[in-house]
């Protein structure tokens, strides 16, 4: 499941998150989430709620939980959620959260700001082994809360047959915006649609990072959307779209960019390493390769998508929960997950092993060093959804107008206007 699709699913749970926001102030959340809750007597069985990508992930997590149980002296019941955001919202509002659960980086700040999460990450062995950009995604008010379970970044995916059809070779793979424009013009001249580009911040945002911009400051406390850097990025993307050098999935009669790419409608797309599984399943004959995204005016830039193992501040089994997460995030276990359902390990110590087994994914892994995570601030759902709507009208709306709007809305959400 792509982050774009996951985001669409998550938005259906906003009402439940709103319920969580409304009830948290007086519903019994720990005022001091770092303090241990009362432990129950007798055998402990952890409740684990996951947002599974499918049967392979569910089976792998259940197997890992069973292995942990045999040595931990505790049980673990793993439940794949039908709608993770909605179910977590209901559980928190009802004061019955699972002990351990997946937390998408786009949701993290909302939960952390309410005291719903136990800030346990410093108790996991070698916390500095997690990629710095992933630690930042799960840091709130200076505290690293929860251990990243895996991640992906965006890369440039090239259809090798369509590339060759346009008379292009390895030396033509673009490494700058200027080269991306040039090679796209060559593809178009050869009768090949150049680029499928998702029309939301989850894809266009990469250009903002390459230009040196982003929606919020590094600490998530200030709005930075209305900047010359972001304007340069949107102006560039607008030119690609206006010149038909890039097209959105809907323009290509596709549900997402990976579908358009797999169907041979475009020579390039910008996606995460989840495209590998999608192409293997639906378009196994497509020959392709991944490359780091072209650099912008301020250098390399990409986006990262990640999830952490959250532990409820209200859990009565925190010691066992931390032990469980410790087992799930060891490098060898992360590699087992990588083999089972295609995720990339969040520990830097697993990088060499992962690239050795999956060399085609090297561009995704190497991009972790300069990747930008999701907006790390609470109460931003409606702001970001509105920005996405604006980006879908980028060819008919002045980029400056879009940025002024998201700046104003972000300031209101952050309470800085």
User: Hey, what are 120's tokens?
Assistant: 């346990």
Q: Are residues 296 and 208 in the same domain?
A: yes
Rounded to an integer, what distance in angstroms lies between the CA atom of residue 386 and that of residue 48? 33
pLDDT at 284: 97
pLDDT at 43: 83
Q: Are residues 99 and 203 in the same domain?
A: no
Per DSSP, the residues of 38-70 read: PPPSS--EEEEEE--SSHHHHHHHHHHHHHHHH
Q: Are residues 161 and 243 in the same domain?
A: yes
What range defines the domain where residue 20 resides?
3-152+305-372
Q: Are residues 360 and 384 in the same domain?
A: no
Q: Please count the structural domains in the chain.
A: 2
Q: Any residues with CB less than 8 A from the CB of 158 and at least 6 apart, and which?
A: 173, 267, 268, 288, 289, 290, 291
Rounded to an integer, what distance in angstroms lies between the CA atom of residue 366 and that of residue 355? 10
User: Hey, what are 295's tokens?
Assistant: 């650099």
- In this structure, are residues 372 and 204 in contact, taking their beta carbons and an 8 Å threshold? no
Rounded to an integer, what distance in angstroms lies between the CA atom of residue 231 and that of residue 187? 26
Domain containing 95 — which CATH number?
3.40.190.10
Task: Output the pTM of the full model.
Answer: 0.90
- Write the Ramachandran bin of 307: left for phi over 0, alpha for psi from -120 to 50, otherwise beta: beta
Rounded to an integer, what distance in angstroms lies between the CA atom of residue 321 and that of residue 300? 38
- In this structure, are residues 361 and 273 in contact, taking their beta carbons and an 8 Å threshold? yes
Give the pLDDT means over successive 10-residue stretches in the chain (417 positions).
39 41 36 43 88 95 98 96 95 95 96 97 97 96 97 98 97 98 98 97 98 95 97 98 98 97 98 95 97 98 98 97 98 97 97 98 97 96 97 97 98 91
Q: Are residues 298 and 393 in the same domain?
A: yes
Q: Are residues 275 and 225 in the same domain?
A: yes
Q: Are residues 17 and 133 in the same domain?
A: yes
Closest by CA position to 333, among listed 201, 137, 147: 147
Q: Are residues 19 and 106 in the same domain?
A: yes
pLDDT at 42: 63
Q: What are phi and psi of 144, to 5 degrees?
A: -80, 110
Q: Are residues 387 and 251 in the same domain?
A: yes
Q: Are residues 269 and 397 in the same domain?
A: yes
């Amino acid at each position: 499941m792509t982050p774009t699709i996951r985001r669409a699913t998550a938005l259906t749970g906003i009402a439940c998150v709103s319920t969580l926001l409304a009830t948290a102030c007086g519903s019994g959340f720990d005022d001091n989430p770092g303090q241990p809750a009362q432990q129950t007597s007798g055998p402990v069985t952890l409740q684990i709620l996951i947002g599974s990508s499918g049967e392979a992930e569910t089976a792998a997590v259940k197997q890992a939980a069973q292995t942990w149980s045999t040595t931990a002296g505790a049980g673990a019941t793993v439940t794949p959620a039908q709608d993770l955001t909605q179910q977590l919202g209901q559980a928190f509002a009802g004061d019955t959260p699972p002990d351990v659960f997946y937390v998408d980086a786009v949701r993290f700040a909302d939960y952390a700001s309410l005291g719903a999460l136990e800030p346990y990450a410093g108790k996991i062995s070698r916390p500095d082994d997690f990629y710095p950009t992933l630690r930042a995604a799960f840091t709130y008010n200076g505290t690293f809360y929860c251990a990243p379970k895996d991640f992906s970044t965006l890369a440039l995916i090239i259809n090798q047959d369509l590339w060759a059809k346009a008379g292009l070779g390895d030396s033509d793979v673009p490494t700058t915006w200027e080269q991306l424009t040039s090679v796209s013009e060559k593809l178009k001249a050869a009768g090949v649609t150049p680029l499928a580009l998702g029309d939301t911040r989850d894809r266009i945002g990469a250009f903002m990072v390459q230009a040196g911009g982003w929606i919020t400051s590094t600490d998530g406390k200030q709005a930075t959307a209305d900047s010359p850097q972001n304007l340069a990025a949107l102006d560039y993307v607008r030119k690609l779209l206006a010149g038909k050098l890039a097209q959105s999935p809907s323009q290509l009669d596709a549900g997402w960019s990976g579908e358009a790419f797999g169907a041979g409608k475009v020579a390039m797309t910008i996606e995460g390493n989840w495209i590998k599984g999608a192409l293997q399943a639906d378009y196994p004959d497509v020959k392709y390769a991944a490359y780091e995204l072209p650099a912008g005016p301020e250098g390399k830039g990409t986006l990262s998508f990640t999830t952490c193992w959250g532990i409820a501040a209200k859990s009565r089994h925190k010691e066992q929960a931390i032990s469980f997460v410790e087992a799930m995030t060891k490098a060898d276990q992360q590699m087992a997950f990588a083999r089972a359902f295609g995720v990339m390990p969040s520990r830097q110590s697993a990088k060499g092993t992962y690239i050795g087994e999956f060399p085609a994914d090297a561009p995704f892994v190497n991009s972790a060093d300069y990747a930008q995570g999701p907006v790390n601030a609470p109460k931003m759902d409606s702001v970001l959804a509105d920005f996405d709507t604006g980006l879908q009208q980028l060819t008919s709306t002045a980029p400056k107008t879009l940025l002024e709007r998201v700046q104003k809305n972000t300031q209101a959400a952050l309470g800085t206007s």
